[in-house]
Amino acid sequence: MTAIHATALVDPSAQLDDSVSVGPYTVIGPHVKIGAGTTVGPHCVIEGHTTIGRDNRIFQFNSLGAVPQDKKYAGEPTELVIGDRNIVREFCTFNLGTVQDAGATRIGDDNWIMAYVHIAHDCQLGNQITMANNTTLAGHVQVGDWATIGGLTGVLQRMRIGAHTMVGFASHVNKDVPPFMVVDGHPLEVRAVNLVGLKRRDFSDASLKAIREMHKLIYRQGKTLDEARTAIQALAAQMPEAAADIALMDDFLGSSVSGIAR
């Protein structure tokens, strides 16, 4: 049966798999759903329309599913959706979405989220992301798969952090961060290609060559962003083995609204 500590307060309408464990003094609201194998530590509050998947480990003192820190929020039944196998360390705050966006804050699978991380309303996170202590995401932020964000980093609302990126310690992210790049600082600057991370994930030599070439086209040849995109699009025919990586970069650049880190 579900292992719920005697001091925990779990609403009878909450839907918890039989294998879920809940620690002392935790409070779980009526619209919460928690999947098999997930553990919730002591002194947590999980509320709102919050769905949590399988095999997550939620440490003590977390607040998940609270209403957005947005003055426009008027009590609409928006959501927080968390996937599978995430680690959520102490004192994190994940808020519900708003009707001004998709109506849901979403966190994917296999993410490592360290202490004091704030994920605001309508953020969309992929998979295999690492967020170090005190990372703060404002509303509507998007973070791609395998991104790593250093501690004490603040991300402005509506910014996008691309897949396979590395954001350095105590950075101020006020522009979109293109895939595969290393950025840091205040003001934010692109420093290099994230070669260490890419090699750890077994990117092929062909992909690494194409990514390095895209970095040169965007950052080393004095091109405008439109000129760089045209040159990147031409790479797909020249380097078909890296077509997926080239398409990822081209799509990201083409959909940027706030501009990219340069």
| Residues with catalytic function | 121-122, 139
Quote the CA–CA distance of 122 and 126 in Å, as a whole number: 13
Chain position carrying tokens 């964000």: 149
- What are residue 129's phi and psi, to 5 degrees? -90, 140
Per-residue CA distances from 180 to 26, 144, 218 (Å):
39, 10, 12
CA distance 41 to 87: 12
Which tokens go with 78? 């928006």
